[in-house]
Structure 1
Amino acid sequence: MLFKLSAVALFVASTAVAFPSWGNSDNLAPVISSSNADVVPDSYIVVFKDGVRANDHSAWAATLHKRDLTTNGIWDNIASGVKHVYDMGSFQGLAGRFRPDVLDEIRKHPDVDYIERDQLVYASEIKIQNRAPWGLARISHRKGLTLGTFNKYEHNPNGGDGVTVFVIDTGVNTDHIEFEGRASWGKTVPANDPDADDNGHGTHLAGLIGGKTYGVAKKVKLVSVKILSGNGSDITSNVIGGMDWVAAQAVAGKTVVNMALGGGKSKAIYDAAARLYAKNAPLFVAAGSSGDACNGSPSGALTAFTVGATDINDALSAFSAYGPCVEMFAPGRLRRVLRRYLSQGGLNTARSV
């Protein structure tokens, strides 16, 4: 990403006089957002049409930014311009902060498919319940749990060997003893954030996926992709930045992607999820806790595997979302994961198993 954005900066040589204008207002690319989106002002995700490469236009976008700088001054020098360039095969785009006059020029470009307003996303809610880890036992028995099986997890001790799970979340404490050296740091997307899980949410999820004591697949490799800040929230463009990085690392048939976050509907996230699916890197996401899972992102993505939560009686958990976008269910109340991150459960737990 540093190389891409450096190339953008090097290209910026044209002046406002030489700046191109495209088409007319009758062919403006649409600017979209869902009604339940927590929109970030002046922040946009620009998605190009099929067959168009984002890198071919990142310099053009930087030229827009250059003109904007000369017009609007120091505010843009701090906050505006291209922040991400997405190169995910069929999904090509960029993201940044653009003032209205610059946005108008972007909309006129014939290669732009649509523009989505950036929005806040949040880590999936964690539910607390003082129970033994029956969830591990449940996923290893076809029939409902009994007094003889409720605490017995039948599994392959080498489960997950040869598979890499990318945990797209708040980061992972890769040095935790539960990971036995199988966890590594992959990417930090939010600018100026440390390469550390300063929230705990991502480490909890990684422990459910591959911790030696309470993990489902005890030999899987775990890669931390930090897209949420320490407060457990961030923006859609950073989420897609993490997905973009994972798509470049993914090995078909040996990669699983895990996300436990939610926000309003995002076509850009849906399109990025489709790209991961096309690369045979399945994306598993939490259904959420706000009614119909189809109304959120990434839970509403048709190419993501959306997981709802069940209780110990195999009934839908009271907090779980539902609807046609939910493909599967899993226990939503595991317990005792990693020291310092105990007593966490809920929809993110269901999605991790």
Structure 2
Amino acid sequence: MFKSLLLVALLLLTTVVALPPFNGGSDNTLAPLLSYPNAEHIPDEYIVVFKDAVTDERVSCHHNDVDSLLYEERKMFKRGFMNELISGIQHTYDFEGFRGYSGRFSESVLAKIRQSDDVAFVERNQRVYPSIIQNQSPWGLARISHRERLVQSTFSTYQYDATAGNGVTAYVIDTGVNINHTDFGGRARWGANFSPGQPDQDLGGHGTHVAGTIAGTTYGVAKNAQIVAVKVLGPQGGTNSDVIKGVQWTVADYKKAVDDARRAGKVYKGAVINMSLGGGKSNALDKAVNEAVTAGIVVVVAAGNENSDACLASPSGAEKVITVAASTVEDTRAWFSNWGKCVEIFAPGRDITSDWIGSNTATNRISGTSMASPHVAGLAAYFLGLSAIPLTPKQVLDKIVNTATRNALCEVANSPNLLAYNGFA
């Protein structure tokens, strides 16, 4: 029986390989297949990214070609393990300069995909996880509103403009958000869920904690911002392909908000994405978040918790994002925090109290660059809300960097010695 199955499998491979290449492609010219040594790859899952100049017609033809290959394979295997392997396209992407798709493909179909002249590169899909370290005063808020190191009289004092965050949307791409938490005061809504098989709720608390630091009434930096939950992580983390789908949805939702404001004769203040997550290096994920910035959204990401170079991970190594490392109440780099030239700024990230799950008043104190990133995402929303005119992501970055407290930290490990500050005086 096994020999017969093996023979059919070999016949299948022969049949697929005999098919013509995509769009004039050649067996001798294959798109690069990218994988990274520090990534947790998912077997047989891939992200395919098209070249920038590819037309809609060629994209449609490419998808048809893939469907044809999958059809031929499925004819050979009507059930069983091979049918699971060749499950096909799972997500398609088309936003700004990012076009592509992701899915599960056999080696023979993958080889044909790589022959296409329209494919820029193929990347092995990989897992991503929240950038969290461990399990109640919000000293972080106090620190970003004081130039000097905190003392007893300033430890729990947050100085801020009461209008901060007005008219700004903060997208939390994470585990979801407990949108009914009292600390959000009705300003949180559910956006979308791209975590397969998971309910529309935060089961882990991570996303709720992040959202609370961005815009919670008690624990938030920008206390008037609107919060949108975009779920891409479940209890076991998530995948780059799901995260990219979440980014695409966010860009579309942001563009709709801009258009709606324009039609109403209003000016949309702006939007921020927070991504307190990460994994191995990924060109596909880096490209996706860079395109979100190109669309006009400020993207803030966690540097990661491996005590290593943030440039070696994604999305922390992406060119256009604001990458945030973690500091402590003693004004040192947190021992776990990633570092390096890809870091733009530090923010409080150890023993941070914020909102949680389990009840609509729950809180928790945890640590990680996941907690540092939302301080800066909140700061971006804060500055966007205070500005009389809309700001570009580059202008927001410049504002954050130019306002930061300089040379306040010890042991920054080849990172910029900049600590987030809200400029309140």
- TM-score above 0.5, yes or no: yes
- The match for 2:324 among 296, 307, 313 is 307
Shift of 1:17: 12
2:302 partner letter: A
Matched, 1:24 2:41: no
The answer to whether the 8 Å contact 1:45/1:115 transfers is: yes
Unaligned runs of 5+ in 1: 1-14
Structure 2 counterpart SS, 1:119: strand
Shift of 1:336: 3.0
The answer to whether the 8 Å contact 2:302/2:324 transfers is: yes
Shift of 1:125: 1.7
Q: Deviations over 1:182-221 (max 9, x none)?
A: 1111111122221111111111111111111111111110
Shift of 1:262: 1.3
**Residue equivalent to 1:177:** 182
Q: Quick one: distance in 1 between partners of 2:68 and 2:320?
A: 35
**Residue equivalent to 2:218:** 213
- The match for 2:198 among 172, 185, 193 is 193
Structure 2 counterpart SS, 1:140: coil
- The match for 1:127 among 109, 129, 134 is 134
Q: Quick one: distance in 2 between partners of 1:205 and 1:185?
A: 15
Shift of 1:123: 1.0
**Residue equivalent to 1:255:** 271
Shift of 1:334: 5.1
The answer to whether the 8 Å contact 1:133/1:333 transfers is: no
Matched, 1:243 2:247: yes
The answer to whether the 8 Å contact 2:352/2:371 transfers is: no
Shift of 1:144: 2.3
**Residue equivalent to 1:103:** 110
Matches within 5 A, 1:23-42: 23-42=25-44
Q: Quick one: distance in 1 between partners of 2:130 and 2:294?
A: 25
**Residue equivalent to 2:369:** 347
Work out which of the two has the higher radius of gyration on C-alpha atoms and give 1 or 2: 2
**Residue equivalent to 2:12:** none
Q: Quick one: distance in 2 between partners of 1:135 and 1:239?
A: 28
Shift of 1:142: 2.1
Matches within 5 A, 1:69-108: 69-74=74-79, 75=81, 77-78=83-84, 80-108=87-115
Q: Deviations over 1:88-108 (max 9, x none)?
A: 121100000000111011011
**Residue equivalent to 2:46:** 44
Structure 2 counterpart SS, 1:336: strand
The answer to whether the 8 Å contact 1:264/1:295 transfers is: yes
The answer to whether the 8 Å contact 1:200/1:341 transfers is: no
* The 10-residue stretch of structure 1 (208-217 or 48-57) with the greater mean CA deviation from structure 2: 48-57
Matched, 1:138 2:140: no
Shift of 1:239: 0.8
Q: Quick one: distance in 1 between partners of 2:290 and 2:122?
A: 18
Q: How many residues align?
A: 336
Structure 2 counterpart SS, 1:160: coil
* The 10-residue stretch of structure 1 (64-73 or 96-105) with the greater mean CA deviation from structure 2: 64-73
1:351 partner letter: S
The answer to whether the 8 Å contact 2:130/2:174 transfers is: yes
2:167 partner letter: G
Shift of 1:244: 1.1
Q: Quick one: distance in 1 between partners of 2:183 and 2:70?
A: 46
* The 10-residue stretch of structure 1 (33-42 or 119-128) with the greater mean CA deviation from structure 2: 119-128
Q: Deviations over 1:103-129 (max 9, x none)?
A: 01101111011000001111112334x
Shift of 1:177: 1.2
Q: Quick one: distance in 2 between partners of 1:127 and 1:269?
A: 26
Matches within 5 A, 1:324-343: 324-333=341-350, 335-338=352-355, 339-343=361-365
Shift of 1:176: 1.2
Matched, 1:318 2:329: no
Structure 1 counterpart SS, 2:43: strand
TM-score (norm 2): 0.75
Structure 2 counterpart SS, 1:250: helix
Structure 1 counterpart SS, 2:93: strand
Shift of 1:76: 5.5
Matched, 1:265 2:281: yes
Matches within 5 A, 1:222-241: 222-231=227-236, 233-241=237-245
TM-score (norm 1): 0.90
The answer to whether the 8 Å contact 1:51/1:90 transfers is: no
The answer to whether the 8 Å contact 2:142/2:154 transfers is: yes
Q: Quick one: distance in 1 between partners of 2:204 and 2:82?
A: 30
* The 10-residue stretch of structure 1 (340-349 or 290-299) with the greater mean CA deviation from structure 2: 340-349
> What is the root-mean-square deviation in Å for CA atoms of aligned residues?
2.1
Q: Quick one: distance in 2 between partners of 1:102 and 1:27?
A: 15
Q: Cα 1:187–1:21, aligned 2, differ >3 Å: closer, same or farther?
A: same
Matched, 1:153 2:158: yes
Shift of 1:58: 3.0
More helix by share: 2
Structure 1 counterpart SS, 2:251: helix
1:126 partner letter: I
